[in-house]
Amino acid sequence: MEICVHGLGYIGLATASLFVHNGHKVIGYDTDDRVRRRLERGEPEVTEEELETYVRDALDGELTISSHPEAADYQLICVPTPYDRDAGRADLQYVEAAARNVRPLLRADDVVVLESTVPPGTTATVLSPILAESGLEPGTDIGLGYVPETMLPGNAVTELQSNDRILGGIDADSTAAIEELYGTVPTGDLRVAPDATTAEFVKLVQNAFRDVNIAYANTLALTARDYGVDVREAIRLANNHPRVDILRPGPGVGGHCLPVDPLFFAERSDETQLVDAARRVNDRMPGYVADLVAEALGTLEDKTVAILGVAYKGNVDDTRNSPGLEIARILSDPETAELRVADGGMGATEIRLCDPHVTSPTLELESLADALDGADAAVLTSAHDEFADLDPRRVGSLLGERVMVDPLALMDADSWEQHGFELVGI
């Protein structure tokens, strides 16, 4: 089958490569000239070693990069869907633009599949009317449906090939045509939803479930502090119950999906109070960690703080919605933080950023030694393997004050305290 993939970011490029590796001819299109040029040179902007090899092999095979969309049996839309906070709704401009690009290429019996995360109803009420302007009616002349991606950064190839896939068409024939395509690639089970809107809803359910459960763990951490309880020990004990499985608290929720996708529920529903509350809890956590830093130091005036980790999670290079960067922002502008330090000075705080996995033209990143040298405190905000193995003797020889804030609980408290550290966690 011939497939045209619209959007060659992390998801689109992996998806295109998956179909190439399973015998299909794939045309890849992206509106970004720089992205296309790199791919044409065989240089994918991918930092996961396994995924990079996977993509390079596809580029050496039947993955062709095109400067324009092309006609194909299947048109797969894998473009971003950011959240417009001012408007309080998903920004679907890229989905709509992709649909307009597909429209003049459509032929009878072609199939269009949306993979982007969207508010429920987008495929049927946004995508379908645009495609219908071609003169071919979705559900009658062409197939149309929704298949969400479920890849975890850092483990993309394995998840791409082994996770269950949910699919839903706007009618039975569309669903069958989509199932025919996705049945040709290795996955877990194909789960057929009653319609495209249900499939869209399920994608949000999955991400909101994780966000709400993280928020519960963070709420326990905030509450436990008021009672003088070690929340991690309490969670460990609670999880011995056969029907309890509480997650771990942390400095916040990052990445593209969890901080954004649950908000899409509110597009056409007012019954999102629990999801909205969870978002507020998790959004609060970077400020709470900034509080812990200020309390440990007694003041933020003329202090230097090293932020260890600007990736949103361990062992990846993705900085989107990074808790570490938000903590850095709050500490560098203390007036925005809800600090509980009663009489602490509020002067300028110097922030140093360190992350062995991230390269960025816009962030000033330092080596671990340079970030720690003379700093008054270090804050561990990404669970990178390199940080889990930190030597308290070496860190102590570099820091001006032995203050380590570890909201991820990566450090062995006894060992660090034996070396004279004040180890602060949540």
396, amino acid identity: G
For 117-129, letters b (16+ CB in 10 Å) and e give bbbbebbbebbbe
Q: Does residue 203 have an active-site annotation? A: yes
Long-range CB contacts (< 8 A, 24+ apart) of 241-246? 246/213, 246/216, 246/217, 246/220
The Cα 423–Cα 220 span in angstroms is: 20
Going by DSSP bridges, is the β-strand pair 377-380/303-308 parallel, antiparallel, or unpaired?
parallel
| DSSP secondary structure string for all residues of 324-335 | HHHHHHHHHSGG
Q: Does residue 25 have an active-site annotation? A: no
Distances in whole angstroms, Cα of residue 356 to Cα of each of 293, 395, 403, 410? 22, 16, 21, 17
Is the sign of the CA dihedral 172, 178, 181, 182 positive or negative? negative
Assess contact for 6 and 75: CB atoms under 8 A.
yes
Distances in whole angstroms, Cα of residue 130 to Cα of each of 48, 137, 330? 36, 10, 43
Provide the token pair at 72: 């194909």
The residue annotated as part of the active site, out of 4, 78, 257, 354, is 257
The Cα 81–Cα 204 span in angstroms is: 13
Assess contact for 27 and 4: CB atoms under 8 A.
yes
Strands (E), 235-386: 303-308, 349-354, 377-380
Is the sign of the CA dihedral 15, 79, 313, 36 positive or negative? positive
Task: Give the list of residues 6+ apart from residue 187 with CB closer than 8 angstroms, or none.
Answer: 161, 162, 163, 164, 165
The residue annotated as part of the active site, out of 4, 78, 203, 303, is 203
Strand partners, 192: 167
Strand partners, 307: 353, 379
For 228-265, letters b (16+ CB in 10 Å) and e give eeebbebbeeeeeeeeeebebbbbbbbbbbbbbbbbbb
Identify the CA nearest to 205 among candidates 252, 269, 160.
Answer: 269
DSSP state for residue 163 in the 8-state scheme = S
Catalytic positions are 203, 257
